[in-house]
Amino acid sequence: MKQEDGRKFGIYLHVPFCSRRCDYCSFATWTDREHLINQYLAACKTQVMKWAPELPEITSIFVGGGTPNLVPAELLMDVVAELPIAGDSEFTVECNPDLVSSDQIKTYAHAGVNRISLGVQSMVPHVLASLGREHEPENVLSAVEKIRSAGIHNINFDLIYGARGETSADWQRTLETAVSLEPDHISSYALTVEPGTPLATDTERHPDDDDQADKYIEADNHLTAAGYSNYEISNWAQPNKESRHNLLYWNQEEYLGLGVAAHSHIGHKRFWSIRTPERFIAAISQDSSVEAGSEQLDVDGWALEGRQLALRTSRGVPEEFVPSEVRHLTQPADLEGNLKLTTKGRLLANEVAVRLR
Q: Read off the pLDDT of residues 83-96 as tens digits, 9 standing for 90 and up.
A: 999 999 999 999 99
What are the extents of the domains in the chain?
9-250, 299-357
Q: How many CA atoms lie within 13 A of 339 on its CB side?
A: 24
pLDDT at 19: 92
CATH class of 9-250: alpha beta
Chain segment 178-211, per-residue pLDDT in tens? 999 999 999 999 999 999 999 999 999 999 999 9
Q: Does pTM top 0.85 for this prediction?
A: yes
User: Using an 8 Å Cβ cutoff, are 245 and 10 in contact?
Assistant: yes
109-135 as b/e, with b when 16 or more CB fall inside 10 Å?
bebebbbbbbbbbbbbeebbebbbbeb
Per-residue three-class SS string for the chain:
CCCCCCCCEEEEEEECECCCCCCCCCCCCECCCHHHHHHHHHHHHHHHHHHHHHCCCEEEEEEEECCHHHCCHHHHHHHCCCCCEEEEEEEEEEECHHHCCHHHHHHHHHCCCCEEEEEEECCCHHHHHHHCCCCCHHHHHHHHHHHHHCCCCEEEEEEEECCCCCCHHHHHHHHHHHHHCCCCEEEEEECCCCCCCHHHHCHHHCCCHHHHHHHHHHHHHHHHHCCCEEEECCEEECCCCCCHHHHHHHCCCEEEEECCCCEEEECCEEEEECCCHHHHHHHHHCCCCCEEEEEECCHHHHHHHHHHHHHCECCCEEHHHCCHHHHHHEECCCCCCEEEECHHHHCCHHHHHCCCC
Task: Say how many C-beta atoms besides its own lie within 10 A of residue 17's C-beta.
Answer: 21
pLDDT at 133: 86
> Looking at this protein, which amino acid is placed at residue 286?
Q
* Residues 6 or more apart whose Cβ sits within 8 Å of residue 289: 283
Task: Say how many C-beta atoms besides its own lie within 10 A of residue 153's C-beta.
Answer: 13
CA distances 104 to 19, 70, 78, 85, 93, Å, are 17, 10, 13, 21, 11
pLDDT-flagged residues of the chain (< 50): none
pLDDT at 3: 56
pLDDT at 135: 75
The alpha carbon dihedral of 288, 255, 292, 30 has a sign of positive
pLDDT at 335: 85
Distance in angstroms (rounded) separating the CA atoms of residues 229 and 315: 12
